[in-house]
Structure 1
Amino acid sequence: MKYLLAVIMFLMTASAYAGDYVVYKSGSVEYEGFYSPVSGKAPLVLIVHDWDGLGDYEVERVEMLNKLGYSAFAVDMFGKGVRPAETAEKQRLTGELYADRDRMRRILQAGVDKAKALGADTGNAVIIGYCFGGAVVLEYARSGAPLKSFISFHGGLDTPQGQDYSGAKGEVAVFHGTADAAVSMASFAKLAADLEKAGVKHEMHTYSGAPHAFTVFGSQSYRRDADEKSWKRFTEYLKEIF
């Protein structure tokens, strides 16, 4: 009897957090996100992938968020089935979006719109991004998107020429590795100054010895101490935001 109850509880838990891939369009191009709701009324966390494309890492983060009581939607910035393996292809895909910020915004907005169409509460939402995704998240903040917070994990922090944070409507949070060779501490400091100048509420954290991509499980860059500390503060921050 105890075994049967354990099986039932396991199945109930598994089904509660069971997500699925969903297809949507931006213009004529198909994209494939991953959506896992807790309930229609639960706060929503949107996730933007790194330059590897949407994969197992983002799905695992979705499941972690579900267990904390949040619905989660991982957007796709590259296109359905596009999961680059070679560095040159990753550079090409991200470079095209860095060069066309309007397109970057449209693709992201299409994912947000799909989440809303599926019943997610986009009016009570934050967005997080990893590496390339962190840069996308800050682009969305500068667009004036009406989310509660825009959160970057080891993301690109530079503000493109001609842009600023004067139209930002939500808070900004940044988790950064002090040993990040791809995104300098000078960029980190300038972002803080830009946010302060614009009157955007923000908090910014650095972790000693943490390189770029320090949260990516199983990678050479992974730093457990920095990952766990940043995730702890992140989850505390979500409670404060929501």
Structure 2
Amino acid sequence: MNNDKHTAAASFSRPATLSLALALALANAQVSAEMQTETVEYEVNGKTFTGYMAYDSEADGKRPGVLVVHEWWGHNEFAREQAEKLAAAGYTAFALDMYGSGKLAEHPEDAQSFMKEATKDMDQVKARFTAAMELLQQHDSVDSDRIAAQGYCFGGAVVLNMARLGVDLDAVVSYHGALGSPIKAEAGKVQPRIHVYTGGADHMVPSDQVAGLVKEMQDAEADLTLVSFPGVLHSFTNPGADRIAEEFDMPVAYDEDAAGRSWEGTMRLYEDVFND
């Protein structure tokens, strides 16, 4: 594993992506010897952030890049694991940092505090997101014209807001993310295809948020696919959710079926948008 700090240089062309069957097989495989990972320190408005780049160094040509936005706990091992899964599926992935280096919550009160500071104004959210996006686009392995973003919980809300703001992304995926926002999508402004995966029993994402997002995106003429898993709670993609539920008495739970189906849907989305 290569853990050197990395400064990327831009160089662009267009490769072919892997077939869905091969991508899924690779995503479920262990990290190969060709997998490269880099811990990346970068600055946004004078503040230091720590991200994580993952890619297959043996793959030919340039490939699409995918940003991974962490849960409200901060940039943790789960976010890095998602980046590695994406790299195994044929993409270069960058697990970005929205809070700042060293800000990793161990208690919900800390997570809430970090999230409030990070989202105190939308200009700051966008600046932190787009700085990470530019780093990914500049990586030697990435085709800068083919970029997607996926987020979990807090991160799901972030990527949806970037779509609302008109950030130039090909696809956006939200897993158990908040769906309401003070920003409203405008007709003709939302560029990416959007997938939203939510739990039907998620107390943190109630049905009125689901209905509100559908109407908002219909009014904005956005391309939205929304999947609600019956009986599934918040944080269903994260195997660590059950420990969190027990430790902090929170209504969260891992669901293997929902996690697998949402990942498969994401891989189909990326294959479609990046091969258009």
Match of 1:70 among 88, 91, 94: 91
Aligned length: 229
Q: How far apart, CA to CA, are the structure 1 residues paired with 2:144 and 2:206?
A: 32
Question: Do the aligned partners of 1:171 and 1:202 also contact (CA within 8 Å) in 2?
Answer: yes
Q: How far apart, CA to CA, are the structure 1 residues paired with 2:162 and 2:222?
A: 14
Residue in 1 aligned with 2:159?
Answer: 137
Question: Do the aligned partners of 1:112 and 1:122 also contact (CA within 8 Å) in 2?
Answer: no
**TM-score, reference length from structure 1:** 0.90
Match of 1:150 among 155, 165, 172: 172
Where structure 2 has 5 or more consecutive residues not aligned to the other structure, the ranges are 1-30, 243-252
Moved more, 123-132 or 54-63: 54-63
In structure 1, give the amino acid aligned to 2:46. Answer: S
Higher RCO (CA-CA < 8 Å; seq separation 6+): 2
Where structure 1 has 5 or more consecutive residues not aligned to the other structure, the ranges are 1-12
Match of 1:207 among 229, 237, 250: 229
Cα deviation code 1:51-106 (max 9, x no counterpart) = 11111111111111112111111110011121111211111111123331110111
Moved more, 86-95 or 173-182: 86-95
Structure 1 consecutive aligned stretches of length 4 or more whose deviation exceeds 6 Å: none
SS at match of 1:18: strand
Match of 1:99 among 109, 120, 133: 120
Q: CA deviation at 1:240?
A: 1.1
Q: CA deviation at 1:239?
A: 1.1
In structure 2, give the amino acid aligned to 1:77. Answer: M
In structure 1, give the amino acid aligned to 2:70. Answer: H
Match of 1:29 among 42, 47, 50: 47
Residue 199 of structure 2 corresponds to residue 177 of structure 1: yes
SS at match of 2:179: coil
Q: Whose helix proportion is higher, 1 or 2?
A: 1
**TM-score, reference length from structure 2:** 0.79
Q: CA deviation at 1:226?
A: 1.0
Question: Do the aligned partners of 2:165 and 2:185 also contact (CA within 8 Å) in 1?
Answer: no
SS at match of 1:217: coil
